[in-house]
Structure 1
Amino acid sequence: MRFSTSFPLALLISLTVVTVSLAQSGSIPSEAQTIAKTVRPEAIRAAMHFLADDALEGRKPGTRGFALAANYMQTQLEALGLQPAGENNTYRQAVPLRRWQVREKTSFLTLSFKDGEKTLLYGQQFILNPNPDHANSDVSAPVVFVGYGVSAPELGYDDYANIDVKGKIVAYVNGAPTIFPSNQRAYYSSAKAEIAAAHGAVGVLSFSLPTDLRNRIETAAPRTRQGIYRWLDKRGKPQRTFPAIKGSASLSDSTARLIFTNSATSFSDAVAAVMKNRSQAFPLNISAQMHTQTDAVEDVAGQNVVAVLPGSDPVLKNEYIVYVAHLDHLGIGRPVKGDSIYNGAHDNASGVAINLETARLFASLPKAPRRSLVFVGVTGEEMGLLGSDYFASNPTVPKDKIVANFCLDMPFFFHPLLDIVPYGAEHSSLGHETELAAAFVGVQISPDPIPEQTVFMRSDHFSFVRQGIPAIYIKSGSQTGNPNLDGTKLNLDWRATIYHSPQDDINQPFDFNAAAKHVQLQFLIGYLAAQADSRPTWNKGDFFGTKFGKPATP
C-alpha cells in the first residue's frame, strides 16, 4: 500500500477555466451560457483527489472507505442547497446486496460422448457461475450449438429460428454479430442467458472465439471465482437472475473444441460461420451434466446517495431528470507493482467529481430549471450496475415521472476533448439537445470507435434504459489534436494496463480542462431537457424504445 501525498507537476498545469465556443450560441439561453463558463477544472481535480485517496481504501461497498465517499458527496450536495431525496427524508437509499459463490469441491461438469464420459477440471477447462436461486442445482441434458445465442428477428438475425431448445443445454460464442449497430450489439452480447431461458433452455455453455483473448476463462477465472452480487427485493429474493437456467458454465478454448467431437459440423466451420455473422443452430450430439452448489457468503449494506434540486415550474417540477455516477470501486485487493489499493480515480471518482460540478452549475442559476434535477451517487456498479438498477427499479421519486438520465463513468480525459461519443443520443429526442450542447462547447460527435467493448451495456445509464427511460452516456472520442497520438490506441492501452488496477490513481496525466468540458456538456444537455415544454421521447421505431419504453407517436 502507499499514500499519495502530493500532486505531480503535470497535474498543476492548465487549470484555467475552459473557453467555450460560441457556435450556435443563439440556441443556448444566455443565462445557461453564462453559468456554463463558470466551470472550475480545479474543483474537479480536488474532488477526484479526495475520492481517490488511499485513505478511502478503494471505496468498496460496505466498507469505511465507501462510507467516507458517500458522506463527502452528501455534504457537497447539501452545501449547494440540494434537498434530501432518499428514503425517510434523508440523502440515502438502502441497497441490500448479497454475494454468492460456487463451492468448487462439490460442483462439477461432465460431458457424455458416444464413446464415454469426461469429467472436466474446474478452473482449467471450465468455470461454473453461481446460481443464487438454487443452493443445489442439477441439470443433465443434450447440448445444442446456437451460434452467438442471439435471437434478434428485428435485426434480421435469429440463431434460435430453426431449433427447439426446450429442456436442453445451449452452447454459444460470446459476443454478438458485428453487423449489428454498436449499442444493439452491446445489448445482445449481454442478454444471452435471458434469451436462452425465454426459449426454454435449462443450461448454458459459453466460450470465446479463438481470437478473443480478452474473454477467455484464464483471464476471467480470478474474478469469476470471487462470486457474483445481486440486489434483493423486499422479500429477500435476488433480482436479475434466471431460475430456469439450472447450470451455467464458461469453457476454455480447448473444451470448446472438445464439445464438437461428435458434431456433424466441425468447430472451425462453426466458428467461421459465426465470424461471417451467419445464424446457425445444430445438435452437438453430446450431453452435459452440471452440478452447482452455491453458497450465500456475504451480505452488504449498500447505499445510494440521492439529492434533488426542485424545479421552478408548478407542474413540470414533478418531473425529474436524474444524473448518476457510481461512487464505488474495487477496494483493497491483489498487489500490483507494490500497491494493493484500487483507488478508482478515473473509474469513477472522475464521474462523481464531474457530476458534483454539474450540480454546482445548476445551483448557481438565478432560477432553477423548470423540471427537478436528481443527483445520485450509486453503489455496486462494479458488482454489475446494482445500485443504479436498484434505484431505477425502486426510485425514491415516482418512476413514471423520471424523464431522462445522464450518466458519467470513465469519460477518458487524458487528452484535449475534441470529439465525443454520446452513447444513447441516437435513440431519443435527447440527441437534439446533445447536438446543441456539443456545438456550443466546440466538440464534434463521433461514432463508437470500440464497439467490441460493448460500452453501452457497461455503465449505469443502462439501468434506466431498461426501465424505458431515455439516457445519455458521454465518453471522449478519439481525436487528440496530435497527429502522433492515436486516441483509440491510448484508450485501449489504458484499458489493458491501468483499468481495474491500483495504478488507476490520481497520479495520471489527466487533462482537467477536458474534464471541465464534460461538465459543460452534462449541464447544457440537462438544462435544455429540463426547460423544454415536452419530456424527452424515444425516436419513432427505436430499438430500445420499442423493447423497453414507449416510442414516440407519429
Structure 2
Amino acid sequence: MRVNALARRALPTVLGTTLFSLAVMAQSGTPAIPAEAQKAAKTVRPEAIEAHMRHLSDDKLQGRKPGTPGYELAAQYVENQFKQLGFTPVGKSYRQAVPLRRAQVVEEGSSMSLTRRSADGLDGPAQTLTYGRNFILSPQFGRATSEVSAPVVFVGFGVSAPELGYDDYANIDVRGKIVACFNGAPASFPSNQRAYSGSAKQEVAAARGAVGIITFSLPTDMRARIESNAPRNRLPTYRWVDPKGQAQRTYPQLKVIASMGDSTARTLFAGAEKTFDQARIAATQSKPQAFPLNLSVRARTQTELNDGLVGENIVGMLPGTDPRLKDEYVVYVSHLDHLGITRPLKSAPADSINNGAHDNASGVAINLEAARLFASLPKAPRRSVLFVAVTGEEMGLLGSDYFASNPTVPKDKIVANLCLDMPFFFHPLIDIVPYGSEHSSMVGAVNAAAQFVGVQIAKDPIPEQAVFMRSDHFSFVRQGIPAIYIKSGSTTGDTRDGTKLNLDWRATVYHTPKDDMNQPFDWSAAARHVQLQFLIGYLTAQADERPVWNKGDFFGTKFGR
C-alpha cells in the first residue's frame, strides 16, 4: 500500500520530468553509445570515489586553502593520480601557476557620506555613514586609495539586456555619476539569464561611464543583505593578475563599489520622484526604471594590496587518436580548493577545519574516477581530453577563469567543458539538472548519457540560488565555450523532499567544518554521476563536429565565437 501511495504522489513529478526531457530531446539528436564506452561505464567503482574523497578531505590537508601546505598535499595527490592513469602533462609540468592579488579594505581609512539637495537647490550638511552598519565597501585592485564625489542615479536592477526586452539604462545618462540599484535581476528572466544579469552590474555600469556603484537588496532577499553577510564581506578579496600586473575582472572606472544596508538604502529616495517602496514594486513587476536621486555621495576606499600568493591548477591530458581531431580538447574541471581553517564551531565538536568533503572533494573524486574510465578504454577518444583540478574557486572562480583565459592548449581548440561541483548525492540519483544543456548542441550527449544511466532530466528546483553562475563551468562560457554542469535533481524515491534536503544542507553545513566525511553520502548515486560525466565527455570527444551554441542563444550571442 505504501509503495502504491508513493508512486501516485511521484507520478506528476516523474511525468513532468519525462515530458520536459522529451521536449529537450526533440531539439537535438541523441547519439548512440558505442559498446566499448558502455562497458567502461559499467566498471565504475563507488569505493574508489569514497577513497579519493576521504584522502582529499582528511584533516591533515587542513581544508585545502590555496597557498597552504594542505593544498600542496591535495595537488600532489591529484598529480600522482594523473601519472598512474597515464595522463600526460601539457608541456613540462602538470602544474599551471595562477598569480593572485589579495585586496582588503582598510576600514579605518575608508568612509562614505551623503549630501542632500534642499528645495532651494542648495546642498545640505554631509551625513556621515557608519562602516559595517550602513555600508560595506569592496576593495580597489588597482590603487591603494580611491576617492570620488558624485551625484547618485537610481537604475532599477542595474541591468541592460535589450535582447530580453529589458534595459534600466535605456533613458538615462550616468556618465560621471554613481549608480544605485537593487541586487538581483528581473524575475521575468529565464533562470540562467537572470543569474548572469544579476552578476554583471559592475561591468554594465562601467561601460555606461558610471564612476561608482551602490547595491542593496530587495526587502525579501535576506541572503544579500550586508547585515547577513558582514563577516564574509570583511574578508580579503582576490583576483588573478596578467603579466602586466593588471588585476582581471575588475573595473577601475568604478572608484567606489559599495553595498548598503536596507534601512540606509531607503533614505536614498527622500525627495526623489519615486519612494523606495514604489521603486521596489516596479522592480518586483520587472519594469525597467531609472531616475536621479536627490543627493550626492562622497566615498573614500583605502585598500591593502598584496601580490604574494600564487595558486596552482593541476592539468592532465589523455591525447586523442584521430589525426584530424586530436588537437581539439574536451576539458573537465572540478575545484580542488576549499576554505582552510576558520573559527571553531560554536557547537560541539569545536572543529575549525573546513574539510570540504562535498565541496568539492566529491567533484574531484568523481572526475578522477571518470578519468580512470577514459584510461581503461581500448582506444582513447578521437579528441584529446583534459582533466583540470582548479584552484581559487572559493575566491571567485579564479583558477578556472585563469585557465579558460590562458589555457595550456590553444583556446580556440577547446570545444567543450564539463564541470562538477557539489553534485549532491545524499539520496538516490533519479533525476538530474544539467545546467547549460539548453544552450548548446551538447544536449544530445546529455540525453544519451541520461538514458543509459537511467535518470530523468529535471528543471532547476532552486533558480533563486543562481547555480548557473556559481561554479567553474561559467569561466568557459565567458570564453564562448559550451559547458555542462550537472547536479542532482529533487526526486529521492521516498518521502523525503530533495529540494528541502538541499536547502537545509546549504543553510547548516555548506562552508562550515560540518562538511566532512561524517555525512550520509549515497555512493551508488556518486557512481552514476561518474557514468554521466564520462559518457557526456566521451560522446563529445568522439563526435564528428564540435558542439555549437543554439541559434540565437543568449550566452552564445553574448560570448560565442
Q: TM-score, normalised by structure 1?
A: 0.93
Partner of 2:172: 163
Q: In the alignment, which residue of structure 2 is the partner of 1:108? A: 111
Aligned counterpart, 1:407? 419
Tell me the CA shift for residue 25 of structure 1: 11
1:261-272 superposed matches below 5 A: 261-272=270-281
Partner of 2:131: 122
Tell whether the 8 Å contact from 2:31 to 2:444 is kept in structure 1 after alignment.
Answer: no
Could you tell me which amino acid in structure 2 is paired with residue 454 of structure 1?
A
The question of whether the paired residues in 2 share the 8 Å contact of 1:147 and 1:280 is answered with: yes
Selected match of 2:531 from 505, 516, 520: 520
Partners of 1:413 and 1:44 lie apart in 2 by: 12
- Corresponding residue to 1:369 among 377, 381, 386: 381
Give secondary structure in 2 for the equivalent of 1:335.
coil
1:377-420 CA deviation, whole Å, 9 max, x = no partner?
Answer: 00000000000000011100111100000000000000000111
1:3 is matched with: none
Task: Output the CA distance in 1 between the equivalents of 2:62 and 2:229.
Answer: 24
Partner of residue 81 from structure 2, selected from 76, 82, 105? 76
Look up the SS of the partner of 1:499 in the other structure.
coil
1:144-543 paired onto structure 2 within 5 Å: 144-297=153-306, 299-336=308-345, 337=347, 338-482=350-494, 484-543=495-554
CA RMSD of aligned residues (A): 1.2
Which residue identity lines up with residue 442 of structure 1 in the other structure?
G
Q: Report the residue type matching 2:297 in the other structure.
A: A
For 1:372 and 1:283, the matched residues in 2 are separated by: 54
Hey, what's the Cα distance between the residues in 2 that align with 1:459 and 1:364? 29
Instruction: Report the residue type matching 1:432 in the other structure.
Output: G
Q: CA deviation at 1:523?
A: 0.5
- CA deviation digits over 1:366-385, x for unaligned, max 9? 00000000000000000000
Instruction: Extract structure 1 runs of 4+ deviating beyond 6 A.
Output: none
Query: C-alpha distance in 2, partners of 1:297/1:31?
Result: 51
What do the CA deviations read for 1:205-245 (whole angstroms, capped 9, x no partner)?
00011111111102222122112100011122111100110
Shift of 1:26: 8.6
Tell me by how many angstroms 1:51 deviates: 0.4
Unaligned runs of 5+ in 1: 1-23
CA distance in 2, matches of 1:280, 1:213: 23
Structure 2 contact 314–389 (Cα < 8 Å) conserved: yes
Structure 1 residues 472 and 399 mapped into 2: Cα distance closer, same or farther (>3 Å)? Answer: same
- Asked if the contact 2:31–2:445 (Cα under 8 Å) also holds between the matched residues in 1, the reply is no
Determine the structure 1 residue equivalent to 2:15: none
Distance 2:31 2:291 in 1: 59
Give distance in 2, aligned partners of 1:119 and 1:26. 64
Query: Gapped runs of 5+ residues in structure 2?
Result: 1-28, 118-123
Per-residue CA deviations over 1:154-199 (Å, capped at 9, x if unaligned) read 0000111111111100000000111111110110111000000011
Post-superposition CA distance 1:227-280 (Å, at most 9, x none): 210001112211110011010110001111111122121111111111111110
- TM-aligned CA deviation for residue 298 of structure 1: 5.5
**Counterparts of 1:198 and 1:448 in 2: how far apart (Å)?**
31
Pair 1:90 & 2:102 matched: no
Q: 1:227 to 1:186 in 2, by over 3 A?
A: same
1:41 aligns to 2:46 (yes or no): yes
Q: Which amino acid aligns with 2:418?
A: F
Aligned pair count reads 524
Partners of 1:360 and 1:139 lie apart in 2 by 55
Q: For 1:458 and 1:541, how far apart are their aligned partners in 2?
A: 24
Deviations 1:427-472, CA, capped at 9 Å, x for gaps: 1110111011111111111111111111111100000000010000
1:407 alignment partner AA: C
The aligned counterpart of 2:5 is none
Taking the aligned partners of 1:477 and 1:282, their CA distance within structure 2 comes to: 42
Q: Residue 94 of structure 1 aligns to which amino acid in structure 2?
A: A
Distance 1:209 1:279 in 2: 15
Tell me, yes or no, if the aligned pair for 1:25 and 1:440 is still in contact at 8 Å: no
Q: Look up the match of 2:9.
A: none
Percentage of pairs with the same residue: 69
- Worse-matched range after superposition: 428-437 or 261-270: 261-270
Letter in 2 for 1:234: P
AA aligned to 1:84 is P
Q: 1:449-497 deviations in whole A, cap 9, x for unaligned?
A: 1111111111000000000100000001111111x21111111111111
Change beyond 3 A, Cα 1:383–1:534: same
Q: Is the 8 A contact 2:116 2:125 kept in 1?
A: yes
**Larger deviation: 289-298 or 36-45?**
289-298
SS at match of 2:432: strand
Alpha-carbon distance in 2 for matches of 1:541, 1:155: 12
* TM-score normalised per structure 2: 0.92
Partners of 1:428 and 1:536 within 8 A in 2: yes
**What's the CA shift for 1:106?**
1.1
Structure-1 separation of matches of 2:207 and 2:459: 32
**For the Cα contact (< 8 Å) 1:414–1:509, is it kept in 2?**
yes
C-alpha distance in 1 between matches for 2:31 and 2:217: 51
Code of the residue aligned with 2:115 in structure 1: it is S
Contact 2:157 2:184 survives alignment (8 Å): yes
Equivalence for 1:7? none
Q: Do the aligned partners of 2:358 and 2:516 also contact (CA within 8 Å) in 1? A: yes
Pick closer, same or farther for the CA change 1:268–1:26 going to 2, 3 Å: closer
- Whether contact under 8 Å (1:31, 1:365) holds in the other structure is yes
Task: Give the equivalent residue in structure 2 for 1:60.
Answer: 65
Cα distance in 1, alignment partners of residues 31 and 138 from structure 2:
54
- Residue 316 of structure 1 aligns to a residue whose secondary structure is coil
| Counterparts of 1:228 and 1:458, CA distance in 2 | 16
* Other-structure match for 1:545: 556
Secondary structure at the residue paired with 1:49?
helix
CA distance in 1, matches of 2:139, 2:95: 30
